[in-house]
């Protein structure tokens, strides 16, 4: 039986964005995929996007819990004593992550949910599929991929701690409030010595940040006790399962014909900070500037704490055009996996003393499985559909039939074979897609949407003024185009320069009138506070109820062209002054 999860073979590979740069090379694909032309190719479930601005929808994010200042103090109080135990249990980074507050961007979450496909648990963009993976959950929030299930029962020797927690909970139930709210629980154990303070600390953390409840949940007591003893629990699949579940819930409501309903409300309990941080890490144009680089030993969420969201972003354009010019980062994490494999004298080496654990964790992220969450929450996980997020090449993904056995058994299936192909791929070049995958994707999209796909600008880059490692690479092509125009201007005759100067002045004036005329349009249906209680208006600032002669996308093109024209006008002025001397007035 072949238990490998990666297959290497010679394949015609192309660029995922254009289908160009055809190269016959050894490619590395995640299983399962369509193996031959005789096999039935699955139909991709493409659906039309709903205009979210028309939905009278109020979304309540009950899982988006900010940290109290007292919580931060409690973490600082217990950290010196329990840091090594937290590291052993695989929760140190996750606890530290809970001390950072993430400012929510409702519009971004709704735009992403509008592209969510519940059949594949992936975001469907016009340029490809992407999703939140176990790797994202591990790297961004520090949740462990390895460990026991969240439903692992307690041993008899651990029952005493559980009884103490139950007794404390019973005390709160007998109070005037008659429910165990989270803040009083925290304050009680912070201010009173208790043998189970550490367990109570973890109960609060689990109930508020990991598996959010309105009160202190008795269901997390066994998990807290296991963690307090240093036992590792696989929190990553359970958290990700809840995020998948609520994304499907929100997407289903958005994509149904509910425009006639009034005061429609939906409550989400998953920690949706993960959705927003995933978008920040992978879409450079969405990244708000963060003040400084946090420590390398902290989860990715640390650098987004307290950062203010950027305004006036055309979210639809950013998401739809991300397939061009590195607008989407398939591999944004420099240190994941932490397996710095290198080839020395034909022998593969790794300096990481935890190689086995890191390798097993990474393989878990690559394998198709069912994610086991709290209670009855179970969600399917399809990493083979987003292979490029792991540095692998993408082929046509095959359908997966799950057995009716315990899904946890499939998740913890022993890693039977780890061969050199995996190590080789970790050191390989930029991944691509097979030619047949590109044709399949193009056919799937064109069959559903015809020629109405949005045409994206090739020069779309990151937010101006944002400094990051990919900025130079993204902007280089745009700069080359402008430099080419400058070279052409410098070689023009005097008469041609005069014509170009007149054209630039005329174009600048016309675009100024164009922008001032069309930029003030308002979105219909977003002024009724009774129908829409949350900021649900699209940032495109386009009235959906009127026929628009110019789309918001064209308006953005005009703004970009205006900036480039101004730049060329300055260059033109300098060239003209150099050629004719100071007697020529500036343009």
3-state secondary structure of 564: helix
Q: What does the domain layout of the chain look like in residue ranges?
A: 6-51+331-449, 54-315, 471-580
45 has a pLDDT exceeding 90: no
Q: CB of 360 within 8 A of CB of 415?
A: yes
DSSP class of residue 176 equals T
**Higher pLDDT residue, 571 or 436?**
436
174-192: b (≥16 Cβ within 10 Å) or e: eeeeeebebeebbeebbee
Residue 194: pLDDT band by 50, 70, 90 thresholds? very high
How confident is the model over 462-480, as a mean pLDDT?
Answer: 33
The predicted pLDDT at position 323 comes to 83
Distance of alpha carbon 129 from alpha carbon 388, whole angstroms: 10
Query: pLDDT digit string (tens) for 209-268?
Result: 999 999 999 999 999 999 999 999 999 999 999 999 999 999 988 877 565 566 678 999
Q: How far is CA 145 from CA 134, 231, 277, in A?
A: 7, 13, 18
Q: CB of 354 within 8 A of CB of 366?
A: no
Least reliable range by pLDDT among 143-152, 329-338, 462-471, 490-499:
462-471
88-116: b (≥16 Cβ within 10 Å) or e: ebbbbbbbbbbbbbbebbebbbbbbbbbb
402 has a pLDDT exceeding 60: yes
Least reliable range by pLDDT among 213-227, 275-289, 306-320, 569-583:
569-583
The predicted pLDDT at position 415 comes to 61
**Higher pLDDT residue, 167 or 46?**
167
The predicted pLDDT at position 422 comes to 59
553-576: b (≥16 Cβ within 10 Å) or e: bebbbbeeebeebeebbebbbebb
Query: pLDDT digit string (tens) for 69-93?
Result: 999 999 999 999 999 999 999 999 9
Beta bridge partner(s), residue 505: none
User: Which range, 1-15, 148-162, 471-485, has the best average confidence (pLDDT)?
Assistant: 148-162
- Mean pLDDT of the residues in the chain: 75
Least reliable range by pLDDT among 94-98, 374-378, 583-587:
583-587
The predicted pLDDT at position 528 comes to 37
Q: CB of 328 within 8 A of CB of 96?
A: no
487 has a pLDDT exceeding 50: no
582 has a pLDDT exceeding 60: no
162 has a pLDDT exceeding 70: yes
Residue 407: pLDDT band by 50, 70, 90 thresholds? confident
Q: How far is CA 384 from CA 80, 131, 169, 365, in A?
A: 41, 11, 44, 10
The predicted pLDDT at position 19 comes to 77
Beta bridge partner(s), residue 33: 397
Q: CB of 458 within 8 A of CB of 477?
A: yes
Q: How far is CA 403 from CA 124, 378, 380, 410, 411, in A?
A: 26, 13, 12, 9, 12
The predicted pLDDT at position 287 comes to 86
**Higher pLDDT residue, 232 or 564?**
232
The predicted pLDDT at position 297 comes to 66
How confident is the model over 483-508, as a mean pLDDT?
Answer: 40
Distance of alpha carbon 486 from alpha carbon 576, whole angstroms: 12
Residue 304: pLDDT band by 50, 70, 90 thresholds? confident
The predicted pLDDT at position 153 comes to 95
DSSP H/E element including 225: helix 221-228
**233 burial via Cβ count (<10 Å: 0-12, 13-18, 19+):** buried
467 has a pLDDT exceeding 50: no
**Higher pLDDT residue, 491 or 322?**
322
The predicted pLDDT at position 514 comes to 32
Sign of CA dihedral 389, 390, 395, 399: negative
**Higher pLDDT residue, 334 or 131?**
131
Distance of alpha carbon 419 from alpha carbon 31, whole angstroms: 15
Tokens of 23: 């190269």
Beta bridge partner(s), residue 124: 129
Q: Max Cα separation, the chain?
A: 95
Least reliable range by pLDDT among 106-110, 159-163, 269-273, 338-342:
338-342
DSSP class of residue 102 equals -
Residue pointed to by tokens 């240093």: 230
DSSP class of residue 534 equals S
Could you give the percent of the chain with pLDDT greater than 90? 44
How confident is the model over 498-518, as a mean pLDDT?
Answer: 37
How confident is the model over 120-124, as a mean pLDDT?
Answer: 96
The predicted pLDDT at position 483 comes to 40
The predicted pLDDT at position 257 comes to 58
Per-residue DSSP letters for 380-434?
EE-GGGGGGGGT-BB-PBPP-PPPSS-HHHHHT-------HHHHHHHT-----EE
Cis check: omega of the bond before 53, within 30 degrees of 0: no
**R_g of the chain computed on alpha carbons:** 27
The predicted pLDDT at position 229 comes to 97
The predicted pLDDT at position 475 comes to 31
460 has a pLDDT exceeding 50: no
């Amino acid at each position: 039986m072949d238990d490998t999860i990666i297959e290497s073979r010679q394949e015609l590979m192309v660029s995922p964005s254009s289908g160009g740069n055809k190269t016959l090379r050894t490619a590395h694909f995640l299983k399962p995929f369509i193996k031959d032309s005789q096999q039935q190719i699955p139909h991709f479930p493409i659906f039309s996007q709903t205009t979210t601005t028309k939905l009278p929808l109020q979304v309540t994010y009950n899982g988006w819990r900010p940290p109290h200042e007292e919580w931060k103090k409690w973490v600082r109080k217990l950290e010196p004593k329990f840091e090594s135990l937290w590291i052993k249990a695989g929760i140190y980074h996750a606890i530290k992550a809970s001390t950072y507050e993430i400012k929510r961007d409702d519009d971004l979450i709704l735009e992403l949910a509008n592209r969510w496909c519940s059949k594949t648990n992936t975001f469907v963009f016009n340029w490809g599929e992407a999703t939140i993976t176990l790797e994202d959950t591990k790297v961004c929030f520090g949740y462990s991929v390895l460990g026991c299930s969240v439903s692992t029962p307690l041993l008899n020797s651990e029952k005493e701690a559980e009884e103490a927690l139950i007794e404390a909970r019973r005390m709160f139930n007998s109070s005037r409030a008659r429910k165990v709210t989270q803040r009083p629980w925290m304050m009680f154990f912070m201010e009173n010595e208790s043998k189970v303070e550490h367990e109570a600390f973890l109960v609060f953390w689990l109930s508020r940040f990991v598996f959010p409840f309105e009160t202190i949940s008795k269901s997390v007591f066994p998990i807290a006790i296991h963690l307090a003893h240093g036992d590792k629990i696989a929190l990553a699949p359970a958290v990700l399962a809840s995020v998948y579940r609520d994304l499907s819930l929100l997407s289903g409501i958005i994509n149904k014909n509910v425009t006639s309903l009034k005061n429609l409300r939906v409550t989400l309990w998953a920690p949706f900070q993960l959705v927003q941080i995933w978008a920040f890490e992978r879409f450079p144009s969405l990244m708000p500037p963060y003040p400084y680089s946090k420590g390398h030993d902290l989860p990715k969420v640390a650098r987004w704490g307290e950062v203010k969201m950027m305004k006036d972003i055309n979210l639809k354009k950013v998401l739809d055009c991300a397939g061009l010019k590195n607008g989407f980062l398939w591999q944004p994490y420099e240190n994941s996996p932490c397996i710095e494999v290198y080839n020395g004298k034909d022998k593969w080496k790794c300096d990481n003393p935890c190689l086995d654990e890191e390798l097993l964790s990474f393989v878990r992220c690559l394998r198709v499985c069912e994610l086991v969450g709290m209670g009855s929450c179970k969600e399917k996980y399809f990493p083979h559909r987003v292979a490029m997020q792991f540095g692998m090449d993408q082929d046509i993904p095959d359908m997966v039939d799950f057995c009716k056995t315990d899904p946890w058994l499939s998740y913890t299936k022993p890693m039977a074979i780890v061969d050199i192909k995996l190590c080789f791929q970790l050191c390989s070049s930029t991944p691509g897609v097979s030619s047949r995958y590109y044709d399949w994707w193009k056919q799937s999209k064109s069959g559903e949407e015809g020629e109405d796909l949005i045409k994206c600008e090739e020069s779309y880059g990151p937010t101006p003024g944002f400094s990051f490692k990919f900025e130079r690479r993204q902007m280089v092509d745009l700069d080359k185009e402008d430099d080419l125009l400058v070279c052409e201007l410098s070689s023009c005759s005097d008469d041609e320069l005069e014509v170009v100067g007149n054209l630039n002045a005329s174009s600048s004036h016309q675009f100024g009138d164009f922008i001032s005329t069309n930029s003030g349009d308002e979105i219909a249906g977003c002024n009724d506070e009774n129908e829409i209680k949350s900021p649900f208006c699209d940032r495109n600032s386009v009235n959906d109820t009127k026929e628009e002669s110019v789309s918001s996308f064209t308006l953005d093109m005009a703004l970009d062209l205006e900036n480039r024209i101004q730049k060329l006008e300055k260059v033109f002025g300098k060239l003209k002054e150099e050629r004719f001397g100071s007697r020529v007035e500036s343009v």
